[in-house]
A and B are shown apart, each in its own frame.
Chain A
């Protein structure tokens, strides 16, 4: 097992030992693979995920059978929804005990079946190598994703001949037939190019696929030729430099109002490596009513899933842009850009950044200053909630893989472990965690991992004493009844110190810069408790299921019409 991991270029794995994986751990010291001992297997899964997101390489986590494996589940599901390539390795009870409800036995391949690209149960030593190699292949090929290999204890204890030069997979990789003929493909490119040339108000929707495919340079070339502005999904941020004049920033539920208006007014949407998620589109019935749509995605099952499209190209977005750009005319789109700019001017005055220092500390200030002080070069890892949307809005994301954030699953507790993974993936880069007081406490035990490994991760806790995103929904849609959202936290400074780390606190805007600079100078992990305004809300916002054009603007004054929207809000859409 370790031999194959070395073969695959794995430098570090995140894990936690236990009975059914002990034979594998026993062999570990003989190999060059570094093992990071986590404090909870969910942390191991998020670390592997963070490692993969920050580097583009496969992240690996190891756990034992039963509870070890089930603790990975949240992390696996997180990686699945965001198409992150990870290999999870779990120990399993000996093969003769499978199905007998043995100690720490769980049907792990059954449990993880719907949340992995594929999984394998290995019961013989000689299958470990070929299956692991196939696992890496599956994780990285096509649309990437997590896979799991469950290895029984007897397979770990068995012996077999192993040829280090052997690169065979358990089953040879099969080429999926491409349905479209060369002519179909040519037609699709031609139609796409003509739609782009003839559009008056084209808009590019850039998704995670741009980052995953490493297509940032191709996207830049495409934009400079076609002149079309770029709106990004949350996971697409960084795939196109935010400081570029054609960059509009994030669209969707917490995108700027003028960006969403541009979507609604566009006559052509060029969707690149994104899947028209409900957080991006709002109400599908009224979504971009005037626009024709071109959809480029690697996964043909995404075409037409949420939005009917006029031209679909199923391929790697990097390759598609490389071919499409030279077919398009060079245009500057002055009128369209001016129209978007006019909308933007209106929004800017509502921006919290423009407000004078009132002595209070707003999360937006914290995040904007982090961007300013790190010159936008840090790897920023977020949790989920208000702070995440503020990071999307107030940190200017110029670099692909500079923002590590989970999109689809909305997993609290992701940030700190994912940042540890990012740290190992990018040892030369500054890493900042931005987390809420709630999410941070879900995996705060991993501070101990930072201390044991002696690594430096900077942790900014945006502490407002509430589960802020849910509180905001309660304020807007549930009559201001703050049920189970006020949250008491430990003294985060002392918590850091108890781990042998450094803790700091900021309560005023004036103190912010000095403390952040001091934290950056510290050699080890630093936790900063930012005591921010308690009842700030994220604006602008499209209520769940509402039309994209109907945004609640900042400063907030929820129009009465929203009360009706609240009734349509489904229970399962409440963010955590």
Chain B
């Protein structure tokens, strides 16, 4: 059968969690794979995991179902990779941290702080006409805060990209990684 003619594959943001060996060049290998296969990374974070010698990556990519399967299969081929799993969006928690420097003089400061409170964002630095806010929330929530702050004047914004894990009580596929037994 030829590929279905109807319903073109819809790309959507997907989150993969990969456990990799903490060795030089591992991030390069993952990034190189994405670049040469033409996958578009929305965000990629890397940091320690609970396992000694292993790091955990959270990769967010916009792609359709078939591409997601191949992406995962290609990641499995990396020798330094221990495991990779796509997280089910409904059964995962995901957090993105952003620092937002926003214009806030005497006239607008109260409104900016109020907006921040609505989003549970914290004011972490203050100058006479600027504030720095910190927010830790889902990607969408961070986007929303940014939109709310735009009218005041966003001077600069930096965000970490998503980190994610399965919800409490949900079987965690990423835990099957065992430290390399010798």
Residues of A near any B CB (own CB < 8 A) = 109-110, 113-114, 117-118, 121, 138, 142-143, 168, 171-172, 174, 176-177, 287-289, 291-293, 299-301, 303-305, 307-308, 310
Contact = CB atoms under 8 A, between A and B. Distances in A.
Given A113-B32, A172-B181, A176-B76, A305 B70 contact: yes
Contacts of A301: 70, 73-74, 76-77
B1 A177 contact: no
Nearest to B181: A172
B1 A171 contact: no
Contacts of A299: 73, 77
Contacts of B107: none
Q: Of B24, B25, B176, B181, which is in contact with the most chain A CB atoms at under 10 Å from its CB? A: B25
A179 to B, nearest CB: 9
B177 to A, nearest CB: 9
Contacts of A121: 24-25
A110 B76 contact: no
Contact of A118 (B70, B79, B83, B176): B79
A182 B120 CA distance: 49
Interface of B: 1-4, 21, 24-25, 28-29, 32, 36, 66, 69-70, 73-74, 76-80, 82-83, 176, 180-182
Nearest to B83: A177
Contacts of A110: 25, 28
B29 A113 contact: yes
A308 B2 contact: yes
B2 to A, nearest CB: 6
A310 B181 CA distance: 39
B71 to A, nearest CB: 8
A117 B79 contact: yes
Closest CB pairs A-B (n = 4): A301-B73, A118-B79, A308-B3, A300-B73
A281 to B, nearest CB: 12
B180 A171 contact: yes
Contacts of B176: 177
B180 A172 contact: yes
26 contacts: A109-B25, A110-B25, A113-B25, A113-B28, A113-B32, A114-B32, A117-B79, A118-B79, A118-B80, A121-B24, A121-B25, A143-B77, A171-B21, A174-B180, A177-B83, A292-B1, A299-B73, A299-B77, A300-B76, A301-B73, A301-B77, A303-B70, A304-B66, A305-B70, A308-B4, A310-B1
Contacts of B25: 109-110, 113, 121
Contacts of B2: 287-289, 308
A335 to B, nearest CB: 22
Given A303-B69, A304-B66, 8 more contacts: A117-B77, A143-B77, A172-B182, A176-B76, A177-B83, A304-B70, A305-B70, A310-B1
B87 to A, nearest CB: 16
A77 B21 CA distance: 25
Contacts of A305: 70
Nearest to A145: B77
Contacts of B82: 174
A109 B24 CA distance: 11
A308 B70 CA distance: 12
A138 B81 CA distance: 13
Contact of B36 (A109, A114, A310): A114
Nearest to A307: B3
Contacts of B83: 177
Q: Of A114, A172, A291, which is in contact with the most chain B CB atoms at under 10 Å from its CB? A: A114
Contacts of A177: 83, 176
B29 A138 contact: no
Given A138-B79, A310-B1, A304 B69 contact: yes
B73 A308 contact: no
A142 B79 CA distance: 11
A291 to B, nearest CB: 8
Contacts of A289: 2
B5 to A, nearest CB: 10
Nearest to A118: B79
Contacts of B74: 301
A293 B147 CA distance: 49
Contacts of A310: 1
Contacts of A168: 182
A157 B117 CA distance: 63
Nearest to B177: A174
Q: Of A109, A138, A176, A305, which is in contact with the most chain B CB atoms at under 10 Å from its CB? A: A305
Contacts of B73: 299-301, 303
Contacts of A291: 1
Contacts of B28: 110, 113
A291 B1 CA distance: 6
A240 B31 CA distance: 40
A561 B27 CA distance: 49
A177 B1 CA distance: 30
Nearest to A116: B79
A118 B78 CA distance: 7
A171 B180 CA distance: 7
Contacts of A303: 69-70, 73
Nearest to B3: A308
A55 B176 CA distance: 38
A275 to B, nearest CB: 12
Contacts of A293: 1
A177 B73 CA distance: 12
A196 to B, nearest CB: 15
Contacts of A142: 77
